[in-house]
């Protein structure tokens, strides 16, 4: 049985409210909050970035499962805000975690789904007997152009998932649905991403998420009734709620994973932080549907069954406790934290 043997999360302590951003651009905060379903977002500290958050999440994952660092055979870091354009983040993480030198390693990039692709790599490598444990981390300090709609949601956070045998949550199956759909992108040397506005919806997010979810259920012979929880990529709070509805899930199935409502869109970490929020309270034999989405575009879907082992696994501090504790910044300090003023 192969699956998730441990997980760790990191959410920076700073927040900015939608009201404060709307104040700068003369927009109506209530309209934005009801439109996006997001009321504030997480902001990294001045000396935090994708690599530092990835290390913190990775350390929590290792210490909870009491896995010796040198047992980790692969490290993948998925992000669209790697600190270097050329030079891996994953080597910084591997070094800081004390993994040694004999491990498979790469940075991954597929917008917001890079880390679930990393989970698939780790799953396959464990299954093939190449490694005992593999770690996939999603970490992002999401960029947003000041004044763009993305500025209200582009948050920061990281989630680390360790894959191995004898798991707390078995990965029963995983599939992907991929196409060339340019809904969101960032060209080389450009500081901020561009997007296709409404085009990010039906042909991109909804098509890929529903297709991957349906393909997975078909392969496993499951319907939505076989899942206790569902978690989807969360670019805002509206998209995952709507896609849940399209697939037959109710608010009670998704609420525990909807971290976006508290901290915004954490990009590569988004669906994984939601999964960790669910694993924080899940009971043995409950089943979780995880479907990520990465612009460009693709979705990775997983059927995850929680095992008895979760009862002896330490699950504090919980993701929601981290998400609900924040220190608020004004817009000027927010710009400084995002290194837009130096």
Give the footprint of other proteins on this chain (CB under 8 A).
Answer: 45, 47-49, 51-52, 55-56, 59, 83-84, 92, 95-96, 98, 327
Which residue, 92 or 213, has its beta carbon nearer to other proteins?
Answer: 92
Q: Of the residues 82, 208, 233, 337, which is catalytic?
A: 233
Q: Of the residues 112, 151, 170, 195, which is catalytic?
A: 112
337 included as an active-site residue: no
Which residue, 48 or 228, has its beta carbon nearer to other proteins?
Answer: 48
233 included as an active-site residue: yes
Burial of 296 (0-12, 13-18, 19+ CB in 10 A): buried
Task: Output the CA torsion sign for 263, 265, 267, 273.
Answer: positive
Contact partners, residue 187, CB within 8 Å, separation at least 6? 194
Asked if residue 223 lies in contact with residue 175, where contact means CB atoms within 8 angstroms, the answer is: no
Minimum CB distance to other proteins, residue 95 (Å)? 6
Contact partners, residue 283, CB within 8 Å, separation at least 6? 306, 310
Minimum CB distance to other proteins, residue 269 (Å)? 16
112 included as an active-site residue: yes
Q: Please compute, for residue 10, the number of CA atoms within 13 A of its CA located in the half-sphere on the CB side.
A: 27
Q: Of the residues 40, 56, 80, 151, which is catalytic?
A: 80
Which residue, 51 or 237, has its beta carbon nearer to other proteins?
Answer: 51
Pick the closest to residue 18 from 9, 27, 10 (CA basis): 27
Which residue, 246 or 327, has its beta carbon nearer to other proteins?
Answer: 327
Which residue, 95 or 285, has its beta carbon nearer to other proteins?
Answer: 95
Q: Bridge partners of 51? A: none
Minimum CB distance to other proteins, residue 56 (Å)? 6
Using the CB atoms, write b or e for 140-179: b if 16+ within 10 Å: bbbbbeeeebbbbbbbbbbbbbbbbeebbbbbbbbbbbbe
Minimum CB distance to other proteins, residue 73 (Å)? 20
Minimum CB distance to other proteins, residue 7 (Å)? 18
Structure token digits, residue 102: 């004999």
Residues catalogued as catalytic:
80, 112, 233
């Amino acid at each position: 049985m192969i699956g998730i043997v441990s997980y760790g999360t990191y959410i920076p302590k700073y927040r900015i409210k939608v009201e404060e951003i709307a104040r700068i651009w003369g927009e109506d905060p209530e309209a934005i909050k009801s439109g996006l379903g997001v009321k504030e977002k997480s902001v990294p500290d001045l000396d935090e970035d994708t690599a530092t958050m990835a290390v913190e999440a990775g350390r929590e994952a290792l210490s909870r499962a009491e896995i010796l660092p040198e047992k980790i055979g692969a490290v993948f870091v998925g992000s669209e805000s790697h600190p270097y354009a050329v030079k891996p983040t994953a080597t910084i993480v591997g070094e800081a975690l004390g993994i040694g030198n004999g491990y498979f390693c790469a940075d991954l990039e597929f917008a917001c789904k890079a880390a679930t692709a990393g989970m698939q790599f780790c799953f396959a490598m464990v299954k093939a007997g190449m490694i005992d444990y593999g770690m996939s981390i999603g970490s992002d300090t999401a960029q947003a152009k000041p004044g763009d709609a993305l500025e209200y949601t582009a948050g920061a956070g990281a989630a680390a998932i360790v894959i191995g045998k004898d798991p707390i949550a078995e990965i029963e199956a995983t599939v992907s649905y991929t196409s060339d759909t340019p809904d969101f992108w960032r060209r080389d040397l450009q500081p901020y991403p561009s997007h296709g506005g409404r085009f990010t919806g039906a042909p991109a997010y909804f098509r890929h998420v529903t297709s991957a979810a349906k393909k997975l259920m078909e392969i496993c012979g499951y319907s939505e009734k076989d899942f206790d929880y569902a978690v989807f990529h969360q670019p805002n709070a509206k998209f995952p709620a709507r896609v849940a509805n399209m697939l037959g899930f109710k608010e009670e199935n998704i609420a525990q994973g909807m971290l976006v409502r508290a901290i915004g869109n954490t990009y590569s970490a988004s669906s994984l932080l939601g999964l960790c929020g669910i694993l924080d309270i899940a009971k043995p034999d409950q089943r979780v549907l995880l479907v990520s989405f990465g612009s460009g575009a693709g979705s990775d879907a997983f059927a995850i069954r929680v095992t008895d082992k979760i009862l002896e696994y330490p699950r504090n501090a919980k993701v929601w406790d981290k998400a609900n504790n924040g220190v608020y910044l004004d817009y000027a300090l927010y710009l400084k934290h995002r290194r837009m003023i130096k």
